[in-house]
Amino acid sequence: MIYRQLSQPEYDDLASRILYEDNHLLVINKKTGEIVQGDKTGDECLAETCKAFIAARDGKPGQVFMGIPHRLDRPVSGITIFAKTSKALERMSAMFREGDVHKTYWALVYEAPKEKEGLVESWMWRNEKMNKSFICKEGQRKDAKLARLRYRHIADTDRYHLLEVELLTGRHHQIRCQLSSIGCIIKGDLKYGAPRSNPDGGINLLARHISFIHPVKKTPVEITAPVPASWKGLEGII
Residue 156 lies in a domain: yes
- State residue 13's pLDDT score: 97
- State residue 66's pLDDT score: 97
- State residue 138's pLDDT score: 94
Q: How many CA atoms lie within 13 A of 42 on its CB side?
A: 0
- State residue 234's pLDDT score: 80
Sign of torsion over alpha carbons 238, 208, 35, 168:
negative
**Residues 6+ positions from 171 with CB-CB distance below 8 Å:** 124, 126, 133, 145, 147, 177
- State residue 236's pLDDT score: 67
- State residue 140's pLDDT score: 95
- What is the count of structural domains for the chain? 1
Q: What is the CATH number of the domain that holds 140?
A: 3.30.2350.10
Residue 172 lies in a domain: yes
Length of the chain: 238
Residue 236 lies in a domain: no
- In this structure, the strands spanning 132-136 and 117-127 are antiparallel
This prediction's pTM: 0.93
Nearest to 112 by CA among 198, 179, 192: 179
Residue 235 lies in a domain: no
- State residue 94's pLDDT score: 97
Residue 237 lies in a domain: no
Residue 20 lies in a domain: yes
> 3-state class of 152 per DSSP?
strand
Parts of the chain with a pLDDT under 70: 236-238
> Which domain range does residue 80 map to?
8-224
**What is the DSSP code string of 8-47?**
HHHHHHHHHTEEEE-SSEEEEEEPTT--SS--TT-PPPHH
Give the integer Cα–Cα distance in Å for 214 and 230: 32
Residue 173 lies in a domain: yes
Residue 238 lies in a domain: no
Nearest to 181 by CA among 132, 139, 232: 132
